[in-house]
Amino acid sequence: MNDKGILEWFGKRKENSVTLGARGHVMAVRDTVAELKNALDCMVKGDAAAAVKCTDRLILCEEEADRMEDRLCAEISRGELSVQDRENLIHFVRQTDRVANWAKEGAIYLQLLNETGASVPKETWAELAHMAAELIEETKFLMGATESINTDPKKVLREIDALNDQERIIDGLYFACIKHAHLSSMEPRGLYLVDKLAEAIEMAADSGKSCGDTINIMLTSRGV
């Protein structure tokens, strides 16, 4: 392959299952995160039954993302890429899927909060929902980078910069949420589960940043 490596590969295969699959995978991940946000919005309103329906849909979205991950990795393994490019691309796909995995873990802690009857202040639910909303924005930037990797490398780098900014925003919201939760009168059981839920969202954001870092490495290693 020439110096463009992975970019040329994407270009030649832009209409096939790899490129379409990569975009579809990010969309499934974004849908998973969106359902977590919907569930948290329901909890802000005190509607636990509606939140359960959202988490049920979330699980279906995460399972679909997992299936797409498996298909993509199998397709990439059969490609013409160098060993390093193949490893980088598979790492990108797996890190993208981890965003959905962490969103699912957050949903599990939300369900536990409901099932245990732990009392959580409305303000804390609102802070968690805000974190999830910013995570949706991060996945949009990840989508933009994925869609432009073959056509506009400069736009890819701009999308990655925006993605990194989102990750920093979520970090700040995470620390604020944890601080406010620990300064509240929340019972220990609820406090523990809120900590874990907030951490899951923050870890999802970290995984998204890792996706951007991997794309950046693939581009800058070739002087793009």
Q: What is the pTM of this model?
A: 0.89
What are the mean pLDDT values of the chain's consecutive 10-residue runs (224 residues total)? Answer: 47 50 88 98 96 96 94 79 77 93 97 94 97 97 86 88 97 97 94 97 96 86 62
**What percentage of the chain's residues is helix, strand, coil (to nearest 5)?**
85, 0, 15
Let me know if domain 6-220 sits in CATH 1.10.10.10.
no
pLDDT for 136 = 97
What tokens does 114 get?
């409901």
Task: Give the domain ranges of the chain.
Answer: 6-220
Measure the CA–CA gap between 76 and 34, rounded to whole angstroms: 28
pLDDT for 150 = 72
pLDDT for 19 = 57
Half-sphere exposure (Cβ direction) of 160: Cα atoms closer than 13 Å: 20
Burial 138-159 (b: 16+ CB within 10 A, else e): bbbbbbbbbbbbbeebeebbeb
Q: How many residues would you count in the chain? A: 224
The alpha carbon dihedral of 146, 148, 154, 155 has a sign of negative
Burial 70-87 (b: 16+ CB within 10 A, else e): ebbbebbeeeebeeebbe
User: Alpha carbon of 154 to those of 148, 161, 185: distances in Å?
Assistant: 9, 11, 49
